[in-house]
Amino acid sequence: MPVVNDYLNSMYRHIHKTKTYGQNSARFINMIRLLMEDIAPKNILDYGCGQSRLADMMSEYSNADAHRYDPAIDGINFIPLDKYDFITCTDVMEHVVEDDCRKVVGELAALSRNVFFHISTRPAGEILPDGRNAHCTVRNTKWWLGLITEYFPDAEVIFDEYGNGCGIITWKSVHKYIFQEIYYGIRHIQVCIRPE
């Protein structure tokens, strides 16, 4: 049974029904493609997918059976399988109240040993209907890694956006260093190139 905070979920239901929200995870597709080469998944879950089409993009790349789950969106508010080869959980954990974070990570560990997390480590630009910031749990990378390693001992940070977010995987990837070179190289180029 998925971990769902009914009160918080009702606010996200309202947001999803009234605006475009939760579509940013597709920006990670090139990195996820590289990470999926470690696993060659037959089935994939985009956990907390919002309105994103990331699951479809992953399925096209890998030919895996892809599922979407978001408790705040009708039609995908259930998890179809008991186990998955690979799960993405992008920009989700910061939306979970801190008291439920361990339960959610525990649920993910029960579903798969291979999870990619992207977690924002700053307040959101979105305000919930009750006036709270949409990022209920704003913690640093070290805190998130500590929590995740309680359930995934092999978890490691593959990138840190220093104050903005972090990427964590739960298995030892043979592509980790290649990805870091690409990710940090691109970030360095973006910082160094200034428009005229």
With a pLDDT cut of 70, the percent of the chain lying above it is 82
Average pLDDT over the chain, rounded to an integer:
85
pLDDT of residue 60: 86
**Residues 20/73, Cβ–Cβ less than 8 Å:** no
- Residue range 26-61, pLDDT digits in tens: 778 888 888 898 899 999 999 998 877 888 889 888
Q: Calculate the alpha carbon distances from 20 to 51, 88, 123 in Å.
A: 7, 20, 19
- 132-152 as b/e, with b when 16 or more CB fall inside 10 Å? eebbbbebebeebbebbeebb
Higher-confidence residue: 150 or 50?
Answer: 150
**Residues 85/39, Cβ–Cβ less than 8 Å:** yes
| Partners of residue 118 on adjacent β-strands | 90, 167
**Residues 69/50, Cβ–Cβ less than 8 Å:** no
Higher-confidence residue: 39 or 18?
Answer: 39
**171-193 mean pLDDT:** 61
